[in-house]
Amino acid sequence: MSNRSYDVVLYGASGFVGKQTVEYFARHTSPGQLRWAIAGRNREKLEAVRNQVGVAVDVLVADSQDQQAIDQIVSQTRIVLSTAGPFALYGNAIVDACVRYKTHYVDITGETPWIRTMLIDRHHTQAAADGTRIIPCCGFDSVPSDLGTYLIVRHMQRELNLSCKQVNAYFQGNGGFNGGTLASFLHIYDAKQMVEQMNDLFLLNPPTLHTQEEVERNRDPQIPFFDSDINTWVAPFFMGFVNTRIVRRSCALYEAWKEAYGDNFTYQEYLKFDPPLSWLTATLTTGGIAMFMWILQQPQLRSLLQPILPQPGSGPAEQVMDEGWFSCELIGTSIDGRKVRGVIKDQGDPGNRATVKFVCESALSLALQADELPGGKTRGGILTPATGLGDVLANRLRQAGMTVEVNL
């Protein structure tokens, strides 16, 4: 791939999150370090972004449904970073081309049914054989969950010489939603089959039989409760149905590679609420999220709500994104009950600022540190942040100003 014109192409660069990836690359890459370009379906919008950001990069044009045009772009680059969602609508041709041309790929999807049906089932075997890294969910979904769990487990194995029994993650944060994220979410709820797939606890795992005890141990939380490990009330995290599936895929892949997390390993995640009103806020939040999800599944009620929700291409104001923040605290429990604690946190709202940092540093990990990635150059397939990027991504995030810590 060394003879290709570009190291990274940012596809979807005129969208709300896509424009932020252009800004990030402009700020965090130096002239001559990286050959990159921006791409999408509308030349006028792409050129406006390029001019607004003030970067001298090529503009490549291809509609996501035009396979020939997509092929022309993908064949010219070592890596594609895509922010063009919903990915179930706009991502198939891009991933298909990436696998055929052995071009590495990262995105910010949280659409687990699409990952299962269109990525794993169709492309994992070929990508694995070719050493092509196709890594979805490199945004806020699901880097803190997946990378944080990986770091906890490996620290426990290295420092305590013990395998891990369980990791729990506890999220807090503040920020705004963008319309693209919401559009992806609504697209899933428009398809009954996708909703059923989304509820599969082991949707992204390699096919295997799961015992009833294993199912019960991994069942999605439904109600708030007092968690003695952090001494406050927690509630089910509304993105847990995405993140837990990604973590379980990482666990299953590492087990297949003889680098297991631990026997009967489990992962869960929650929203954390601070005292003194933690019980009340946990209860109200759980009820509010359940009500919102129910409304989205009622066509008539959703039609009344949708006009006031963020639309595709729109998002929160700069001040809201800058003043936002997130924190993911992780607690790992070893097989003998000892604890390892970690945290991943940063300034900037989760769905935009943090997501952009996560996905851009994921692409830069592939572009600049390929020799250091887990599994070496031969590892490929439909991977996860933990299995495809691992410690390289963790170190890059630290260097980019994010807190990524693990300790006993």
Q: What is the pLDDT of residues 329-344, one digit of tens each?
A: 999 999 999 999 999 9
Neighbours of 203 (CB within 10 A): 22
Q: Is the pLDDT assigned to residue 407 strictly greater than 70? A: yes
Tell me how many degrees the CA angle 327-360-142 measures, rounded to the nearest 5: 45
* Pairwise CA distance, residues 147 & 402, whole Å: 13
Q: Is the pLDDT assigned to residue 312 strictly greater than 80? A: no
CA 304 to chain CA mean position, Å: 30
3 state SS of 277? coil
Identify the weakest region by mean pLDDT among 2-6, 196-200, 302-306, 349-353. 302-306
Of 347, 291, 289, 290, the closest CA to residue 319 belongs to: 347
Structure tokens given for 274: 């601070």
Q: What is the mean pLDDT of the chain?
A: 93
Q: Which pLDDT score, from 0 to 100, does residue 209 have?
A: 86
* Pairwise CA distance, residues 177 & 356, whole Å: 14
Q: How confident is the model at residue 32 (pLDDT cuts 50, 70, 90)?
A: confident
Report the sign of the C-alpha dihedral through residues 211, 254, 199, 354, in that order. Answer: positive
Phi, psi of 39 (to 5 degrees): -145, 160
3 state SS of 245? helix
Q: Which pLDDT score, from 0 to 100, does residue 291 have?
A: 87
pLDDT digits (tens, 9 = 90+) for 171-195: 999 987 666 666 666 666 666 667 7
Phi, psi of 148 (to 5 degrees): -60, -45
Neighbours of 70 (CB within 10 A): 23
Percent of the chain past pLDDT 90, that is, above it, reads 82
Identify the weakest region by mean pLDDT among 319-323, 352-356, 395-399. 319-323
pLDDT digits (tens, 9 = 90+) for 184-226: 666 666 666 677 788 899 999 998 889 999 999 999 999 999 9
pLDDT digits (tens, 9 = 90+) for 130-162: 999 999 999 999 999 999 999 999 999 999 999
291 vs 105, which has greater pLDDT?
A: 105
Q: Which pLDDT score, from 0 to 100, does residue 193 have?
A: 66
Q: Please report the DSSP string for 188-222 in residue order.
A: HHT-HHHHHHHT-TTTTSPS----HHHHHHHPPP-
Structure tokens given for 92: 């198939």
Q: Which pLDDT score, from 0 to 100, does residue 179 have?
A: 63
Of 184, 178, 155, the closest CA to residue 17 belongs to: 178
Q: How confident is the model at residue 316 (pLDDT cuts 50, 70, 90)?
A: confident
Mean pLDDT in residue range 32-53: 96
Q: Please report the DSSP string for 110-145 in residue order.
A: --HHHIIIIIIHHHHHHHHHHT-EEE---BTTBHHH
pLDDT digits (tens, 9 = 90+) for 352-367: 999 999 999 999 999 9
Considering only the C-alpha atoms of the chain, give the largest distance between any 2 of them, rounded to a whole number of Å. 60
Query: Are 32 and 61 in contact, with CB atoms under 8 Å apart?
Result: no
pLDDT digits (tens, 9 = 90+) for 43-87: 999 999 999 999 999 999 999 999 999 999 999 999 999 999 999
Q: Are strands 232-236 and 225-227 parallel, antiparallel or unpaired?
A: antiparallel
Query: Are 46 and 14 in contact, with CB atoms under 8 Å apart?
Result: yes
* Pairwise CA distance, residues 400 & 398, whole Å: 5
Is pTM beyond 0.85? Reply is yes
The helix-helix angle for 179-189 and 16-28 (nearest 10°) equals: 130
Q: How confident is the model at residue 300 (pLDDT cuts 50, 70, 90)?
A: confident
Q: How far is CA 72 from CA 67, 93, 97, 237, 344, in A?
A: 9, 12, 9, 40, 38
